[in-house]
């Protein structure tokens, strides 16, 4: 009997030591690290994956120049015609503007590159250059995914603010472009103004937004200048960019969006030049052809912006989408979408321009297994391709029709894994581990669990998810068998009950509410009082 008791005590003691060591390691991992030694961080360089070879890039480039020179664009507004013809574009009798090759290439040579997209807090500034990778949100979903009821409801202004304040605390989501449309604010001016207000009040990260018509830009600029402490301060550090669908594919200008583009350039707002053709519908079904059309359309926009203001910051926003050719429905979570976004990243690098495209647009309606593989595949390929700005990367479902707050939390973990893949493997003398292997094999315990190298690298070399489950089956059972979605729901509730950003001083908000009156629709009660 005593032997049994002694053996039991030994087992218990060993289990206690294992548990204590495990808890200690977890505590160590929870401690904050300096940014320069974190295993993942914004702006790490990708570019290891190449969907296109060098000859492919050159053939696409040649096709792009041919299209711009021979087909050109229709439906230009008078101010656009004036600006483009002033720099050498040709307005023909058929009403189309065509772009000589030298005009396009001289614009590319002189365009802004290696610029910073600023946050209200400088710690969130993003240097957009080379193959540096940043992940963020985007979209215009008209529904919120209610995961507990397994149903969709209309998206509201409060949802945009809630998404922004969730993103504020998610390290692997680096910028916040408005992901939803506030269906409770139908007036276009009120919608544009309040969307931007909710975004900039909810997060200090860089914000992207859009405007319906040019007239809606002026009050938004007035608000942004006030928050920045003056127009000069905003122009020096613009913390908002304009997502501008200036083109209606194939190869037509969008009249209202062109007016917005001109107003934003004048006001000092960087421009995301967005071409969003759908392969098989408004762009060629051939993947290479969709890349050709998107590249041609965005380069025309680049000429337009630089004709208005040479060197104005503009993002090469090739966003060709995929159709399921059986039905014509969009398929944002497909392998073809991953290839398109990767190829577009390479075209931006071909021209040495800051590039942005879309990934993570799950076709799945809920944060489930399908959502996980669709988002994981498309986001990691975009990152490995060195795409500078990966839009739509978190929270999106139903091919841009639904947005899920819980998915932001889950996708933050997923993007951490993607960023670790982007970082790749560093091969140094120390990393080759010859001395470590020799010591463990010849002098040590025959394993590396307590080795100095293991302890030193466990935080700086390895990424640990916040909500994903890595427990053993036994420990998982002991903890009540938690599931990922349940943990995300719990975390969402906790954050939304406690995080109310105060980076915009109350006196500035008071002045904005006094000046704009009933135009501001987000109640103080929804912002923590």
The yes-or-no verdict on residue 3 having pLDDT over 70 is no
Report d(CA 320, CA 406) in Å as an integer: 27
Residue 465 lies in a domain: no
Do 118 and 206 form a contact (C-beta atoms < 8 A)? Answer: yes
What whole-number distance in Å separates Cα of residue 267 and Cα of residue 440?
63
Contacts of 500 (CB under 8 A, 6+ apart): 165, 527, 528
Residue 92 lies in a domain: no
What confidence tens digit (pLDDT) does each residue in 279-302 have? Answer: 999 999 999 999 999 999 999 999
- Tell me which residue range forms the domain holding 174: 113-282+310-423
In a domain, 479, yes or no: no
Domain-located, residue 25 = no
Instruction: Give the three-state DSSP class for 507.
Output: helix
Residue 8 within any structural domain of the chain: no
Q: Please provide the average confidence, as pLDDT, over all residues in the chain.
A: 93
> Tens digits of per-residue pLDDT, 48-96?
999 999 999 999 999 999 999 999 999 999 999 999 999 999 999 999 9
In a domain, 214, yes or no: yes
Q: How confident is the model at residue 328 (pLDDT cuts 50, 70, 90)?
A: confident
With respect to residue 54, please indicate whether it lies within any of the assigned structural domains. Answer: no
Q: Which one, of 174, 91, 169, lies nearest residue 405 by Cα?
A: 169
Q: Domain containing 335 — which CATH number?
A: 3.20.20.480
pLDDT digits (tens, 9 = 90+) for 89-108: 999 999 999 999 999 999 99
pTM: 0.93
User: Would you state the pLDDT for residue 323?
Assistant: 86
Secondary structure element (H or E) that encloses residue 178, with its range: none
CB atoms near residue 501 (< 10 Å)? 18
Question: What percentage of the chain reaches a pLDDT higher than 90?
Answer: 90
* CB 378 within 8 Å of CB 338: yes
Number of domains in the chain: 1
Report whether pLDDT(171) > 70: yes
């Amino acid at each position: 009997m005593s032997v049994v008791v002694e053996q039991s005590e030994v087992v218990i003691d060993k289990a206690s030591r294992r548990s204590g060591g495990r808890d200690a390691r977890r505590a160590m991992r929870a401690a904050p690290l300096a940014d320069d030694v974190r295993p993942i961080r914004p702006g790490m360089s990708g570019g290891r994956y190449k969907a296109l070879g060098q000859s492919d890039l050159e053939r696409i480039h040649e096709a792009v120049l041919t299209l711009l020179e021979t087909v050109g664009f229709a439906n230009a507004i008078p101010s656009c015609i004036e600006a483009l013809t002033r720099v050498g574009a040709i307005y023909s009798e058929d009403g189309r503007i065509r772009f000589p090759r030298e005009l396009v290439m001289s614009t590319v040579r002189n365009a802004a590159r290696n610029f910073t997209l600023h946050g209200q807090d400088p710690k969130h500034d993003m240097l957009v250059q080379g193959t540096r990778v940043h992940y963020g949100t985007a979209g215009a979903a008209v529904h919120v995914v209610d995961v507990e009821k397994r149903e969709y409801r209309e998206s509201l202004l409060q949802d945009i603010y809630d998404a922004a304040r969730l993103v504020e605390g998610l390290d692997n989501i680096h910028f916040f472009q408005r992901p939803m449309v506030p269906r409770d604010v139908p007036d276009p001016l009120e919608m544009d103004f309040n969307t931007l207000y909710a975004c900039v009040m909810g997060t200090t990260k860089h914000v992207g937004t859009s405007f319906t018509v040019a007239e809606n830009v002026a009050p938004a600029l007035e608000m942004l200048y006030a928050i920045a402490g003056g127009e000069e301060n905003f122009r020096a550090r613009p913390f908002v960019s304009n997502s501008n669908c200036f083109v209606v594919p194939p190869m037509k200008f969008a009249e209202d969006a062109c007016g917005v583009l001109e107003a934003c350039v004048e006001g000092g707002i960087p421009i995301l030049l967005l071409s969003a053709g759908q392969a098989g519908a408004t762009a060629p079904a051939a993947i290479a052809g969709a890349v050709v059309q998107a590249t041609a359309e965005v380069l025309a926009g680049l000429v337009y912006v630089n004709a208005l203001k040479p060197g104005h910051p503009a993002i090469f926003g090739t966003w060709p989408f995929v159709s399921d050719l059986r039905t014509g429905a969009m398929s944002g979570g497909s392998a073809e979408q991953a290839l398109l976004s990767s190829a577009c990243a390479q075209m931006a690098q071909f021209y040495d321009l800051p590039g942005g495209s879309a990934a993570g647009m799950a076709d799945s309606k809920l944060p489930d297994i399908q959502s996980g593989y669709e988002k994981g595949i498309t986001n990691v390929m975009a990152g490995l391709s060195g795409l500078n700005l990966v839009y739509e990367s978190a929270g999106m479902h139903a091919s841009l029709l639904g947005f899920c707050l819980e998915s932001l939390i889950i996708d933050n973990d997923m993007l951490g894994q993607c960023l670790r893949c982007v970082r790749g493997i560093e091969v140094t003398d120390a990393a080759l581990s010859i001395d470590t292997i020799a010591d463990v094999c010849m002098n040590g315990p025959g394993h590396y669990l307590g080795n100095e190298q293991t302890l030193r690298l466990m935080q700086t070399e390895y990424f640990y998810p916040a909500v994903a489950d890595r427990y053993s089956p036994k420990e998982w059972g002991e903890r009540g068998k938690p599931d990922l979605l349940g943990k995300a729901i719990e975390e969402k509730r906790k954050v939304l009950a406690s995080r109310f950003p105060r980076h915009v001083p109350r006196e500035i908000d008071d002045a904005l509410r006094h000046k704009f009156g009933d135009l501001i629709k987000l109640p103080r009660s929804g912002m923590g009082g």
